[in-house]
Amino acid sequence: MTHDAMLVFPNQSRCPSGSRDSLRAAFSEHFRNTMNRTPFQKTVLITGANRGIGRAIVECAADRGAARIYAGVRNLDSANELVEHYGSLVQPIQIDLDAPDTIEAAARQATDAEIVINNAGIMHITSPFDDDAVPLLNREFQVNVVGLLQMARAFAPVLRANGGGAFVQLNSVASLRATSAFSTYCASKAASYSITQSLKDQWAQQGTHVVSVHPGPTQSDMGSAAGFDEIATPAADVATALFDAIDAQVFHAWVGPLAELVSHSYAEFSQTVIEGDMRALREQAFS
Ligand SMILES: NC(=O)c1ccc[n+]([C@@H]2O[C@H](COP(=O)([O-])OP(=O)(O)OC[C@H]3O[C@@H](n4cnc5c(N)ncnc54)[C@H](OP(=O)(O)O)[C@@H]3O)[C@@H](O)[C@H]2O)c1
């Protein structure tokens, strides 16, 4: 761990992942290993909770002793398996990042949320000169950027009323380094990282801790669609990293070997500029 960021690698202790049976076995072992850890007993809301990284976050939140988990999903039926497994701990709640009315309704319903994790996102494989680059860029911005902004705006009063809490945004290594095959997705993740920085500064006043999570290639449907299966890190590592970052009150969480490399090169810039005091920087520049 650096002083201002969390790094999670495959050999570190992490929340369980795998098939249903192996998952249960891993849960039992993990629970034995973590019996003495104080449960965080917070109410957590997660968007895109039904599969991929979002599902791993639900599992990790349950493992760490969450008091209640709002599983944000577009289609409520897609949370059935989670409810079967966790019972009343998991409460499905409809959230479509493309439908602001569902976000506002969720904020009116989940008034006890203390940790809000905006995980849902979409990715298209689009290079700058593809015919559909412009409409796909618009789609990705709508979900990955406008959706984030609307989540933050809707849940700001909820978090404030509940003592500040934490807001976590799933960004990416792609927020810092574009790949031409995923150009529009990378642009949307750079924009969501920018919004996340603004939230960090703005919410310092109300005591809401903001975490920007930057996974490299990760095991999920999105990871497979991107062709990452051979190099992908388990989704559980992302979940572990983000809860550890909340515990440690750090802003960045880097997950997996590629993110580790990027974070090393980025550390000084991040410390001075991204996490530095902008007023002090201005004074230094113009004095
Ligand atoms: N996988 C990677 O390699 C990787 C790396 C870095 C960052 N990330 C980021 O991590 C996050 C999760 O990715 P993932 O790999 O788990 O993706 P995934 O396997 O494709 O799952 C995406 C999740 O987002 C939900 N979703 C899609 N559009 C939505 C919308 N308009 N409103 C609400 N929910 C919506 C999906 O719900 P449905 O089931 O209803 O479609 C699903 O639950 C994303 O923000 C992604 O950009 C992923």
pLDDT band at 5, cuts 50/70/90?
low
Question: What's the CA-to-centroid distance between 281 and ligand 1, angstroms?
Answer: 36
Q: Which atom of ligand 1 is nearest to the CA of 56?
A: 16
Question: What's the CA-to-centroid distance between 282 and ligand 1, angstroms?
Answer: 37
For residues 103-113, average pLDDT: 98
Domain boundaries, the chain: 6-286
Mean pLDDT value across the chain? 90
Q: Which amino acid does the sequence have at 142?
A: Q
CATH topology (fold) of 6-286:
Rossmann fold (3.40.50)
Distance of CA 147 to the CA centre of its chain: 13
pLDDT at 7: 54
Q: What is the dihedral of CA 275, 263, 48, 202, to 10 degrees?
A: 0
Task: Dihedral sign for Cα 256, 260, 261, 263, please.
Answer: positive
For residues 133-141, average pLDDT: 98
Helical H runs in the chain?
Answer: 20-33, 52-63, 80-86, 100-109, 133-140, 147-161, 183-203, 221-225, 235-248, 257-269, 278-286
Q: Which atom of ligand 1 is nearest to the CA of 228?
A: 3
Distance CA 194, CA 186 (A): 12
pLDDT one-digit tens code per residue, 182-224: 999 999 999 999 999 999 999 999 999 999 999 999 999 999 9
Q: Whose CA is nearest to atom 20 of ligand 1?
A: 222
Question: What's the CA-to-centroid distance between 119 and ligand 1, angstroms?
Answer: 7
Residue among 46, 50, 51 to mutate when testing ligand 1 (max atoms within 8 A of CB): 51
pLDDT at 32: 37
pLDDT at 14: 61
List residues bridging with 92 in a β-sheet.
71
Q: How many C-alpha atoms does 286 have within 13 Å on its Cβ side?
A: 6
Q: Which amino acid does the sequence have at 200?
A: K
Q: Do residues 121 and 143 make contact, with C-beta atoms less than 8 angstroms apart?
A: yes
Q: Between the CA of residue 4 and those of 199, 210, 263, 266, what are the distances in Å?
A: 17, 13, 11, 12
pLDDT at 278: 87
Is it the case that residue 44 has pLDDT exceeding 50? yes
